[in-house]
Chains A and B, each alone.
Chain A
């Protein structure tokens, strides 16, 4: 099998992607195709398998069986090539608060191997793009939640990845900050043609931002489609929340383990 060009022009293609943890099947034979340039939402209740899918696609976690191609490269056989073509913003706030915004970006630039001559230009461009130029010399711990998220987006876009992965990008943000993050993501798609994969359990976010979405339930793909299609499929007057409840098994906001809850709360605390 040719591993580098069989993805039919798709940015991400998963084939029977599966991950087990002991007896639990967190991700169960998932098949997804995400075209280049799309903003794609991966939805589901806590514990539905969204983060596990992202971890596998970003090469942090090996699948138990099945495989995937990201940016044309197989995640199992060519993890280093995949890493060079993606950007990633974890659910947790991963910007280093003890460093300035600029220093955070400089670290990313070096780890992503940007040539010295280009570093400064790219960093300035990313800061400007994310509206952080004026605060680039301040420590990140003095930033608001929305600014930290934008700093992380700046870090993730620095090397102009083909595909951006964001795990719950607006969790714990106030509405203003949420909208500013959404605007930046739309700009990244428009100006750089980036493909964006986000996980969320926020239906408003899914509808406002995503061209297409998949709802996961107990590790399986329950449904895939455009947000408007999914609503009309359920009948007149159906909201996105109705769609979610219908496909995700009515477990909105439940599920997820203790560690998950602690992490989410910690993230919210840092944002507050």
Chain B
């Protein structure tokens, strides 16, 4: 266990160093949530087309947009892995005696750093826009922990796709194909109640829905957690563990 943590930390540390050294990606990723909240959110809130109860529409989608940012920045993680494969980094990691599970888990943790930055950006936008967010320390810690879990989950999913498709071109296509449907087939920007039955079923199979559900309860004042935190975390953790187990099996095939 100690070895597992040390190896994972070594992999994650490297990513953190690189992120701090070249933060351009962080800034470019901050643009999209601003668009969603400031443009899309304001217009739809004005139209009052979607009933979101006591909570205003912009506040309603704020956690949804955070979840979307987490999804989008994690899902393209596979690109970096394919890049590392083309450079021979994957081969070198796999020839080391480090456990495969540490390498995969370390990657998942490092995706979490990006997720945390996204969370900071969205809190900032929310404060500027006077969205009523919960500022109790425990709620914020809960949000950050959930963001870490979500980043790990979706980046591991991305890693699995990378192991299957193995080239950047194919990955870009599939990445686009997955992210938008996952986003729209979730409760991120409209409540589940508004969906037709078939879509609601799809949304309830979508881990993003559970991520949004936790964030909605913890992030905004008066936000409603529909499924209960226990169910949400069980689903997210369960999905993460299953994906990790699949990724540990598939990751070595990248070097074949």
Q: Enumerate chain A interface residues (CB-CB to B < 8 A).
A: 55, 58-61, 80, 83-84, 86, 88-94, 96, 98-99, 103, 106-108, 110-113, 155, 165, 263, 266
Contact A111 B86 (CB under 8 A): no
The smallest C-beta distance from A91 to any residue of chain B, in angstroms, reads 7
Q: Is A88 within 8 A of B91, CB to CB?
A: yes
With A and B bound together, what is the CA distance between A266 and B168 in angstroms? 15
B86: contacting residue among A92, A106, A110, CB under 8 A: A92
CB <8 Å contact, B96 and A83: yes
Closest chain A CB from B8 CB (angstroms): 10
A99 and B17 contact, Cβ closer than 8 Å, known pairs A55-B256, A60-B255, A110-B7: yes
Decide if the interface of chain B is mainly helix, strand, loop or mixed.
Answer: helix
Q: Does B3 contact A (CB under 8 A)?
A: yes
Nearest chain B CB to A45's CB is how many angstroms away?
Answer: 21
How far apart sit A218 and B191, CA to CA, in the bound complex (Å)?
A: 62
Known: A90-B88, A266-B86. 17 other contacts (CB 8 A): A55-B255, A60-B255, A61-B255, A61-B256, A80-B97, A88-B91, A92-B86, A93-B87, A94-B88, A94-B89, A99-B18, A103-B14, A103-B17, A107-B10, A107-B11, A110-B7, A155-B92
Cα separation A110 to B6 with both chains bound (whole Å): 7
A-side binding surface: helix, strand, loop or mixed? mixed
Q: Which residue of A lies closest to B92 (CB)?
A: A94
Complex contact B14–A96 (CB within 8 A): yes
Which of A61, A96, A111, A155 is packed against the most chain B CB atoms within 10 Å? A111
Chain B residues with CB under 8 Å of A113's CB are: 3, 6-7, 97-98
Give Cα A107 to B96, complex, Å: 11
Is there contact, CB below 8 Å, between B95 and A60? yes
B256 touches A60 (CB 8 A): yes
- How far, in whole Å, are A15 and B98 apart by their CA atoms in the complex? 27
Contact flags B81-109 to A (C-beta < 8 A → 1, else 0): 00000111101111111100000000000
Complex-state Cα separation, A83 to B91, whole angstroms = 12
- A91: nearest residue on chain B (CB-CB)? B88
Residues of A within 8 A of B92 (CB): 88-90, 94, 155
A59 partner residues in chain B, CB cutoff 8 A: 94-95
Contact of B91 among A86, A94, A266 (CB under 8 A): A94
Chain B neighbourhood of A99, CB < 8 A: 14, 17-18
Distance (Å) between the CB of A59 and the closest chain B CB? Answer: 7
Chain A residue contacts of B18, Cβ below 8 A = 96, 98-99
| B88 and A92 within 8 A (CB) | yes
B56 on the interface (CB 8 Å rule)? Answer: no
B136 at the interface (CB under 8 A from A): no
| A11 CA / B98 CA spacing, docked (Å) | 22
A86 touches B95 (CB 8 A): yes
Q: Contact between A58 and B88 (Cβ–Cβ < 8 Å)?
A: no
